[in-house]
């Protein structure tokens, strides 16, 4: 092997290593490494258990996420990028409260806001640099006794498994189009979206908040296609998902990522 060929191979290998190490959650078919965090719960009477959330999914039961959801602290939420990602969570380090041999799978659907009136190690559980999950009590009690309250846990990113295709819920008015993208398998979270009408090329959409994406374009009376790219760089294209006579307030189903 010549010295020139060897140098090219080394440069190529270094490029791959940089790309793979760019994100702490580089996705593949295998789970990521276990990481340390803490978890608390909220009571069933809290309205967050049914409707709302910083990811924009609305009614979590109707959106297909149920109660297996989590609010994420600032360092995990990533300004909404993490919405839709799936995690396996297990209780660790406390034999009094942990339920041995158990783990849960949750989807990131909400944001646990920081409270800068308290230090991160004294009441500000979701303040940076804390990695913290807020879980519904029904889910928390699958891995720990509720009296544990603020528990040390370990978590790892896993691929999401979903029934059916990616769902596109269309809202807006006039030329303002807002699309909530949910029920996403694979990586679960979305990094880029494009939309196409029958009279346009592919148009990039911008993240509004959570997994709500928007664009200002006249797309009425045209069938709509979507190109969705997940955080692991994979792309799924769904052609003519919405028919020509689509309207605001409707939800359509497209193709799905492999899980």
Q: 199-246, pLDDT tens digit by residue? A: 999 999 999 999 999 999 999 999 999 999 999 999 999 999 999 999
Query: Residue written as tokens 């694979």?
Result: 186
| pLDDT for residue 196 is more than 70 | yes
pLDDT mean over 148-153: 88
| pLDDT for residue 195 is more than 60 | yes
Share of the chain above pLDDT 90, in %: 73
Pairing label, strands 203-204, 190-196 = antiparallel
Dihedral sign from CA coordinates of 54, 183, 60, 25: negative
Mean confidence (pLDDT) of the chain: 86
Band (53; pLDDT cuts 50, 70, 90): confident
Q: 153-174, pLDDT tens digit by residue? A: 999 999 999 999 999 999 999 9
Best CA proximity match to 134, nearest among 65, 77, 208, 96: 77
pLDDT mean over 87-106: 92
């Amino acid at each position: 092997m010549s010295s020139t060929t060897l140098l090219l191979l080394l440069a190529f290998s270094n490029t791959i290593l940089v790309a793979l190490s760019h994100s702490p959650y580089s996705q593949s078919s295998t789970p990521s490494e276990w990481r340390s965090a803490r978890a608390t719960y909220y009571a069933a009477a809290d309205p967050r258990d049914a409707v709302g959330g910083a990811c924009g999914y609305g009614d979590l039961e109707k959106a297909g996420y149920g109660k297996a959801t989590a609010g994420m602290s600032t360092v995990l939420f990533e300004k909404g990028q993490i919405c839709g990602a799936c995690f396996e969570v297990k209780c660790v380090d406390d034999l009094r409260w942990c339920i041995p041999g158990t783990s849960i799978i949750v989807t990131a659907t909400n944001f646990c806001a920081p409270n800068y009136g308290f230090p991160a190690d004294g009441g500000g559980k979701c303040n940076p640099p804390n990695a913290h999950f807020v879980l519904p009590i029904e889910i928390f009690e699958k891995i720990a006794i509720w009296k544990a309250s603020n528990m040390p846990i370990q978590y790892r990113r896993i691929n999401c498994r979903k029934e059916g295709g990616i769902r596109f819920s269309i809202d807006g008015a006039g030329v303002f189009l807002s699309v909530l993208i949910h029920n996403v398998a694979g990586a679960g979270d979305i990094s880029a979206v494009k939309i196409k009408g029958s009279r346009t090329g592919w148009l990039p959409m911008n993240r509004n908040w959570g997994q709500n994406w928007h664009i200002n374009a006249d797309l009425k009376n045209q069938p709509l296609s979507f190109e969705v790219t997940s955080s692991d760089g994979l792309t799924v294209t769904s052609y003519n998902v919405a028919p020509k006579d689509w309207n605001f307030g409707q939800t359509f189903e497209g193709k799905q990522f492999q899980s």
